Amino acid sequence: MTEMIDPFGRAVTYLRVSVTDRCDFRCVYCMAEDMTFLPKAEVLSLEELDRLCSAFVRKGVRKLRLTGGEPLVRRNIMSLIRNLGRHLKTGELDELTLTSNGSQLARFADELVEAGVRRINVSLDTLDAERFAAITRWGKLDQVMGGIQAAKSAGLAIKINTVALKNFNEDEIDRLIEFCGENGYDMTLIETMPLGEIDQDRTDQYLALSDLRERLEKTWTLTDIPYKTGGPARYTQVEETGQKLGFITPLTHNFCEGCNRVRLTCTGTLYMCLGQDDAADLRAPLRASEADELLEAAIDEAIGRKPKGHDFVIERRGADPALGRHMSVTGG
């Protein structure tokens, strides 16, 4: 194994892969309702995605997360997941996981476990069916709750991701913490990030997690813990429930110093930082030859220009996104 070390001495050990830009939901903070998706010809085949991921594993990636769009709506996605599972068996990979909206979990939970997946993140912003329909535009709460239940029954550890939205679910966070406590799920609260054109002004949605945490501490005893999942979340333990509660605050805190990750899109574009536009095209070297030398050289070159950090500032930008691309491109 050759380690990938960036110019700031950080080892890149975590790859997030957006396997599709498509989704069966249209969450208001993530997508516009009439999104234009990529033509299929531009999207890497499942075999190409496997080749790319495997090159990263050879170069030192220990954790792979599949995301999207919605990863489980990509046709035949289980074949990719099963194939990638081989790296778990050889011990080259520590973890294969995914972030999902939960809509297809009832169908896939058992197969995911068979493929070696042990943990999954499911996005859930509300427990109220009407609100759920409003925030996802096309989603059905029942279906997602059924999916989460199926994942739990299959033995998957579950973490619920909740985007904290002003005037939308602020009043429900306590209930969500309770729900996670009752079911043995960890939870992460996410601040909205200014990515991509959507149909509304983002300053209306922005809720500072520092304020929210202060409010939550009136009800819950939150103890800071050093727990790390290789992600940017800072974790606390909710003493009353025994579950973990993480806070991802990209806008109010700089979490870049310990960054160990890069992000790959379904067209083979590698983003070295979620908050910067600089990217490397890996599809051309991938398709240029059946051997992987060109690809590996392109990866090395890209890691060599991983930037130190990002500078999202939502207040000053108002409605304009800091970056033109949507979260569904890089998968969060």
Q: Give the binding site for ligand SF4 (CB under 6 A).
A: 23, 25-27, 30-31, 68-70, 101, 123, 328
Helix (H, G, I), strand (E, B), or coil: what is residue 271? strand
- Interaction between residue 161 and ligand SAM (CB under 6 A): yes
Q: How far apart are CA 176 and CA 187, in angstroms?
A: 9
Nearer to ligand SF4, 30 or 207 (CB): 30
The nearest distance, CB 151 to ligand SAM, in angstroms, is: 13
Q: Name which of 206 and 220 has its Cβ closer to ligand SAM.
A: 206
**5 within 8 A of 61, measured Cβ to Cβ:** no
Number of residues interacting with ligand SAM: please give it, by CB under 6 A. Answer: 20
Does residue 331 belong to the site contacting ligand SAM (CB under 6 A)?
yes
Applying CB under 6 A, the span of 87-95, 97-105, 208-216, 238-246 interacting with ligand SAM comes to 97-105
Say which entry of ligand SAM, ligand SF4, none residue 31 contacts (CB below 5 to 8 A, set by partner kind): ligand SF4
Q: Which does 26 bind (CB under 5 to 8 A by kind): ligand SAM, ligand SF4, none?
A: ligand SF4
Q: In the stretch 191-220, what mask flags binding to ligand SAM with x, by CB under 6 A?
A: -xx-x-------------------------
Considering only residues 116 through 155, tell me which ones interact with ligand SAM, judged by CB under 6 A. Answer: 123
Q: Which does 61 bind (CB under 5 to 8 A by kind): ligand SAM, ligand SF4, none?
A: none
Are the C-beta atoms of residues 201 and 152 closer than 8 Å to each other?
no
What are the two backbone dihedrals, phi and then psi, of residue 75, each rounded to the nearest 5 degrees?
A: -60, 135
CB distance 162 to 99 below 8 Å? no
The smaller minimum CB distance to ligand SF4, of residues 101 and 249, is found at 101
What are the φ and ψ backbone dihedral angles of 99, each rounded to 5 degrees?
Answer: -110, 125
The owner of tokens 């969500």 is 176
- 99 near ligand SAM, judged by CB under 6 A: yes
The encoded tokens of residue 180 equal: 């996670």
Distance CA(96)–CA(80), nearest Å, equals 11
Of positions 29, 168, 179, 235, contacts ligand SAM by CB under 6 A: 29
Q: Which is nearer to ligand SF4, 112 or 295 (CB)?
A: 112
| Residue 193 touches which member of ligand SF4, ligand SAM, none, C-beta under 5-8 Å by kind | ligand SAM
Question: Using CA atoms in the order 278, 306, 267, 290, what is the torsion angle rounded to 10 degrees?
Answer: 130
User: What SS3 state is found at 119?
Assistant: strand
Out of 17, 19, 54, 68, point to the residue binding ligand SAM (CB under 6 A).
68
d(CA 109, CA 83) in angstroms, rounded, equals 16
Q: Which residue has the tokens 């043995």?
A: 184
Do 30 and 327 touch, CB atoms closer than 8 A? Answer: yes
C-alpha neighbours within 13 Å on the C-beta side of residue 185: 25
Q: Give yes or no for a contact between 188 and 232, defined as CB atoms under 8 angstroms apart.
A: no
Q: Which residues bind ligand SAM (CB under 6 A)?
A: 23, 29-30, 67-68, 70, 99-101, 123, 161, 163, 190, 192-193, 195, 327-328, 331-332
